[in-house]
Amino acid sequence: MDEMEILKQTEEHIKKISSGESSGHDWWHIYRVWKNAIYIGKQENANLFIVQLAALLHDISDWKFNNGDENIGPRLAKGWLEKMQVEKNIILHICEIIKEMSFKGEGVKVKLHTIEGKVVQDADRLDAMGAIGIARGFMFAGNKNLLMHDPSIKPIKITDFKTYSNLKRTTYTQINHFYEKLLLLKDLMNTKTAKKIAEDRHKFMEYFLDRFYKEWEGKI
């Protein structure tokens, strides 16, 4: 099977299993990450076949919806890629990207060593920023019955994956999530291309928060 056919069948497979998902991790999130990854990958001279497969499969099953199981995504991706008869070394590369690319706390060091992994991680993180990132964040909070904002609940510094994965509903609000993750992403980008895009999206989130607090207090 040639690369174009593998990508086509993978797109159809992921679209089928992710359409209608309501936490912000739906097909259109995957679609945007895919398109951003292609753009960044071209600028950074990455292997676009690997970049596209990793982008399409990166949320095949997220640990956040599987009791913190970090291996379920790579495991399902591996099974699909084997079915597509993708070369073993490419499968291993893609599974490593999927396992290591998620944000797991401010103090957790990035373990991605290839340009392909860095490209896909950047593309995914960009979709958590700007107007789309704000919208997705509130979708996730609503899906999980989490608070939008409570001034009495302060953001916490998350330095390890255990703390990040065990955030409780009583200590989590979507506004705090800006400080615990979203506003940190600009400085965590890997590639020059993504860093440039992230600057503008970061500024938009700062503007949103300024406006949010003013409206919260009835000042506008």
Quote the CA–CA distance of 165 and 205 in Å, as a whole number.
23
Which of the two residues, 212 and 167, has the higher pLDDT score?
A: 212
In Å, the largest CA–CA distance within the chain is 61
Structural domain harbouring 123: 3-216
Mean pLDDT of 84-111: 82
- Which of 18-27, 135-144, 165-174 comes out lowest in average pLDDT? 165-174
Residues 6 or more apart from 71 whose CB is under 8 A from it?
99
For 102-124, write each residue's pLDDT tens digit: 775 555 566 788 999 999 999 99
Here the CATH number for the domain that contains residue 17 is 1.10.3210.50
Tally: H helices and E strands in the chain: 10, 0
> Is residue 66 over pLDDT 50?
no
- Split at pLDDT 50, 70, 90, the class of 89 is very high
3-state secondary structure of 147: strand
pLDDT score, position 160:
67
For 174-220, write each residue's pLDDT tens digit: 999 999 899 999 999 999 999 999 999 999 999 999 999 999 999 87
For 2-61, write each residue's pLDDT tens digit: 999 999 999 999 999 887 766 667 899 999 999 999 999 999 999 999 999 999 999 886
| Distance between first and last Cα of the chain | 59
Quote the CA–CA distance of 53 and 39 in Å, as a whole number.
14
> Is residue 65 over pLDDT 50?
no
C-alpha distances in Å from residue 37, one per residue of 58, 163, 174: 11, 29, 26
C-alpha distances in Å from residue 97, one per residue of 39, 56, 72, 130: 18, 12, 13, 24
CB 206 within 8 A of CB 131: no
Domain tally for the chain? 1
> Is residue 80 over pLDDT 90?
yes
